[in-house]
Structure 1
Amino acid sequence: MTKGEAVDYVKVCSTFGPGFFYIPGSDTCLKIGGEIRADYRVFGGDSGYRISPTRVALTSAGFDRNDDRSAFNTQARIWFDARTQTEWGLLRSYFQINADSHPISHQGRDSVYNGNTFSIDKAFIQFGGLTAGYAHSFFGFYDNDYGDTIWAPYYAESSTANLLAYTAQFDGGFRATLSIEDGRDHRVNNPYGTAYTSVIIGGAEDVTIGSLQGGQQVPDIVAQLRYDQDWGALAVQGALHQNRTGSTWTVSSGGDTQDIPLASYNKWGYAIGATALIKLPFVDGGHFIVEGQYANGATEYLGANNTFFGTAPADLYLSSLFGSGSYDTGKGWSIVAELGGNITPVLNANLVGSYIGMKSDNWLGFVDYQIKEYTIAGNLTYTITKGLTAAAEVAYTHGEWDYSAPGAKYSPSASAWQGGIRLKRTF
């Protein structure tokens, strides 16, 4: 280096809060953060692994020696948050990737045996009111802003979707968002257990059924109106979701596969919901939030894919196998409520309760199917030192199903609980 040569040093950027620094040679501020999560869990009740309600109804079987009763996983997260203040407003890009050593679903089911997985959690661009990329759906805000269970399921919109959205800010705390979202990220398909399908389709073994949905033609349209004040927030939201049949329906049984031609069908499903947040000023970080929604032909917005026992009516199903066939849509409602806050400066507590109810009528022309499920969960998080926490959670889930057909009725139920601890280092 010669005398007088300029040197770029990393400089702190205080404009956007702690942790940001200027990328040398630019006016862009960058924050790099991450987490390591070490999870240790146990399961009990009717199944510690995952139970099909049809299996309970037809064989009266609970868990067996093939079901996991404990499960461990370590997850690493890293994120990059780059921001530049422009004459047109804030330009921001955000990227987060997660890596799991042995991923586990909320039921305790191993997603991958003896293998690691990497997944994109978020990847989006924001410019003024525009959001483009892979971001949380703009239907509701409970899951994105709160959702403070550790593993326990709750029933609300929780999907990350490819989207293009614009948010307009108004005086008085109002803001409105219109979002175009990939409908393939909001589908619910193949809801019926193998055992029950086998009974309906001639008692065959190992029956699997494909999705009726065809290729996407029109993306989902999501809108939200939100009102924020010092005391909390209110929001109402809605979504439109296209259900469109494909050319064939694939049914496999005993190793044989048959493609059944489908009649052309196109119907818009919808979901509507509301959220209310009340901040509790007498507790640090104290809050009570409730979010509820109703859907017809768009059950993913209910949190249908989050059900503990893994069953939910599909958005689109056959309501008749006769003639050219006819179709209908699954429907239902869900609600989630959370009460939480910091008991002491180093001890946080949350209590979450959630319920979902869904149904499909005349599946295959003669089967009525209903599901009801609720979960209650409580957790405590203790801050050992800055950046290091230890958390414990206990949750109970109960599910009920009702399969009704001429001359046959199955009404199984199942309950399960899970508990565990998480050590988390944030940096």
Structure 2
Amino acid sequence: MTMKSLLLGAAAGIAAIGAAQAADLPMTKGEAVEYVKVCSTFGPGFFYIPGSDTCLKIGGEVRAYYRLFGGDNFSRNDNRSAFNAEGRIWFDARTQTDYGLLRSYFQINAQSHPISAQGRDNVTSSNTFSIDKAFIQFGGLTAGYAHSFFGFYDNDYGDTIYAPYYNEANTVNLLAYTAQFGGGFSATLSIEDGRDHRVNGTVITGTAAAQGGQQVPDAVGQLRYDADWGAVAVQAAGHQFRTAESVGAHSNKYGWAAGGSLAIKIPAIDSGHFVVEGQYADGALDYLGAGNTWIAQSDYFVSHGGAGPLDGGKGWSITAELGGNITPVLNANLVGSYIDTKYDGIFSSGSDGQIKEFTVAGNLTYTIVKGLKVSAEVAYTHGTVDGATIVSGPFADQDKYSTWQSGIRILRSF
């Protein structure tokens, strides 16, 4: 017998012994693998959280901004150009229950060196993190930090890149219930934190009163009708304003606001739409979007140069937008907005103060590939102050101002 035959025989024997021992071992199944399943109930992007019947969607954006500013009274301390970046991420969890949809939504934004509306922030570095939304919905109930139910333009449209517009644009702490009546009709009653609806500060001649603590939250109501052709809504709000302890003449008053919104779809244009929203307010200037103006305003003043009673500001504002897709990859929007606010008898002479401002903006957005867009926008703002002059800021000692801004935004969504 040769050496080769001995080796082959030994190998065959070892293999036979191994096979016999393996046959005596108990049979076991592999661990079950739970794969992530697509949830198509709520649209694309949702998946089932393993081990549950809850569908989750995770999304986000990265935005890069490049802006230029010009107009009246820019000094060496002001920025004529400014760059910043922003990251957004959100989580949308939904569960269909026997009592209706249970949903929770959370979004957080992070910015590197945020740019103010006027671009005048000359700080060299500053990173911020902020909660954009955090709310729970169950059936018709909405609870948490969500967009105010006064109006719908800012929440449903608001298609400017940088430019301001003047209407309710705040995310607020609220508790709301929306009843659906069928046929597109709905009604919402929302109790909202009045501190989120304040407008503080003034840069016109007069004595702005310090805000007191909140006693009564804001009450907001809206009636809305949605149809194939668009949507229409009417809304109203009540708002308390009261002086702080430091103000000698203690006062407690209530303001209000009312408005209407209309959106019309344009079938001849892909995603074509025309939207207009207007409102009037007395003692509740946040609902006009007064906090978005280029010069700071206040809910109220102590009239007659600080010697008289508390008097809330009043006025009206309107915003309109026309937009749609020019081509499958090119979107265009034109937005115009105007605000007119008045303060009665705020000066020692008893005269009134009035601020008027308008902004016109146009932008184009080009989709390079799915999920990647680049936008360009130009905006012009002009304002006047009647019966007073601006006492601080870049427009001090003036009664009018004009500014413009332009820029590019690169956006990656996922």
d(CA) in 2 for partners of 1:84, 1:358: 45
The answer for the alignment partner of 1:311 in structure 2 is 296
Identity over aligned pairs, percent: 70
TM-superposed deviation, 1:267: 1.1
Of the structure 1 ranges 415-424 and 363-372, higher mean CA displacement relative to structure 2 is found in 363-372
d(CA) in 1 for partners of 2:225, 2:122: 39
1:169-205, Cα deviation, whole Å (9 max, x unpaired): 0122100000000000000122135xx56xxxxxxxx
Matched-pair contact (CA < 8 Å) for 1:394–1:418 = yes
Q: Rate the CA distance shift 1:14–1:141 in 2: closer, same or farther, 3 A.
A: same
1:275-324, Cα deviation, whole Å (9 max, x unpaired): 011100010100000000000000010000001x2232x2222014687x
One of 379, 383, 401 as aligned partner of 1:399: 383
Letter in 2 for 1:122: K
d(CA) in 1 for partners of 2:215, 2:141: 23
TM-superposed deviation, 1:329: 0.6
TM-superposed deviation, 1:28: 0.5
The answer for the alignment partner of 2:89 in structure 1 is 78
Listed as ranges, the gaps of 5+ residues in structure 2 are: 1-27, 390-396
Matched-pair contact (CA < 8 Å) for 1:247–1:263 = no
One of 370, 384, 390 as aligned partner of 2:374: 390
Letter in 2 for 1:288: F
TM-score using structure 2 length: 0.88
Q: Rate the CA distance shift 1:112–1:167 in 2: closer, same or farther, 3 A.
A: farther
d(CA) in 2 for partners of 1:110, 1:426: 28
d(CA) in 1 for partners of 2:305, 2:70: 40
Tell me the SS of whatever aligns to 2:303: strand
Matched-pair contact (CA < 8 Å) for 2:257–2:279 = yes
Q: Rate the CA distance shift 1:322–1:387 in 2: closer, same or farther, 3 A.
A: closer
TM-superposed deviation, 1:263: 2.7
The answer for the alignment partner of 1:41 in structure 2 is 67
1:34-65, Cα deviation, whole Å (9 max, x unpaired): 0000000001111xxxxxxxxxxxxxxx2211
d(CA) in 2 for partners of 1:78, 1:211: 39
Task: Give the RMSD, CA atoms, in angstroms.
Answer: 1.7
TM-score using structure 1 length: 0.86
Listed as ranges, the gaps of 5+ residues in structure 1 are: 47-61, 198-208, 250-261
The answer for the alignment partner of 1:359 in structure 2 is 342
d(CA) in 1 for partners of 2:275, 2:282: 24
1:320-357, Cα deviation, whole Å (9 max, x unpaired): 4687x411110010000000000000000000000000
Structure 1: which 4+ aligned runs deviate by more than 6 Å? none
The answer for the alignment partner of 1:368 in structure 2 is 352
d(CA) in 2 for partners of 1:95, 1:400: 40
For these two proteins, the number of residue pairs brought into alignment is 379
Q: Which structure is larger by alpha-carbon Rg, 1 or 2? A: 2
Matched-pair contact (CA < 8 Å) for 1:397–1:416 = yes
Tell me the SS of whatever aligns to 1:124: strand
Letter in 1 for 2:280: Y
Letter in 2 for 1:183: G
d(CA) in 2 for partners of 1:145, 1:99: 22
| 1:246 is the counterpart of 2:207 | no
The answer for the alignment partner of 2:269 in structure 1 is 283
The answer for the alignment partner of 2:76 in structure 1 is 65
Between Structure 1 and Structure 2, which shows a larger proportion of strand residues? Answer: 1
